[in-house]
Homo-oligomer: A and B are copies of this chain.
Amino acid sequence: MRKGIGYANIGDSFDDFILIKEAARGVASNGKAFLTLILRDATGEIEAKLWDIKKEDEEVFLPEKIVRLTGEINQFRGKAQLKIFTIRPAQPTDGVHVADFVEKAPVEKDILIEKLTEAIFEMKNPAMQRIVRAFIKKYQDALLTYPAASKNHHEYVSGLAHHVVSMLGIAKELYTLYPQINKDLLYAGIILHDLGKLKELSGVVTTSYTIEGKLLGHIPIMVEEIGIMAKELQIEGEEVLILQHLVLSHHGKAEWGSPKPPLIREAELLHLIDLIDAKMNMLNRALDKVKPGEFTERLFAMDNRQFYKPLFEEK
A interface residue numbers (CB < 8 A to B): 24-31, 34, 49, 51, 74-78, 81, 83, 125, 166, 169-170, 173-174, 176-178, 180, 182, 185, 211-212, 214-217, 219-220, 223-224, 227-228, 231, 237-239, 241-242, 244-245, 248, 254-265, 268-269, 272, 275-276, 279-280, 283-284, 287-288, 295, 302-303, 305-308, 310-313
Contacts and interface: CB of A to CB of B under 8 A. Distances in A.
The residue among A169, A177, A260, A265 with the most chain B CB atoms within 10 A of its own CB is A265
Contacts of A182: 310, 313
Contacts of A215: 241-242, 244-245, 248, 260, 263-264, 308
24 contacts: A24-B75, A26-B74, A26-B75, A29-B49, A31-B83, A125-B312, A169-B177, A170-B174, A173-B174, A173-B176, A211-B308, A215-B260, A215-B263, A216-B241, A219-B259, A223-B223, A227-B228, A254-B255, A258-B259, A261-B303, A262-B305, A264-B308, A265-B283, A268-B307
Q: How many copies does the complex hold?
A: 6
A36 to B, nearest CB: 9
A173 B178 contact: no
Contacts of A185: 310
Nearest to A238: B311
Given A26-B76, A284-B180, A244 B216 contact: yes
B83 A312 contact: no
A183 to B, nearest CB: 12
Lowest 4 CB-CB distances: which A-B pairs, in order? A173-B173, A215-B245, A224-B224, A224-B227
Contact of A78 (B24, B81, B275): B24
A166 B173 contact: no
Contacts of A241: 211-212, 215-216
Nearest to A52: B29
A154 to B, nearest CB: 14
Given A265-B287, A272-B275, A217 B254 contact: no
A274 B37 CA distance: 45
A306 B125 CA distance: 25
Contacts of A74: 25-27
A210 B31 CA distance: 40
A260 B212 contact: no
Contacts of A169: 177
B259 A259 contact: yes
Contacts of A173: 170, 173-174, 176-177
B260 A25 contact: no
Nearest to A178: B280
Nearest to A292: B238
A294 B12 CA distance: 42
Given A215-B245, A272-B272, 4 more contacts: A26-B74, A215-B260, A262-B305, A264-B307
Contacts of A308: 211, 214-215, 263-264
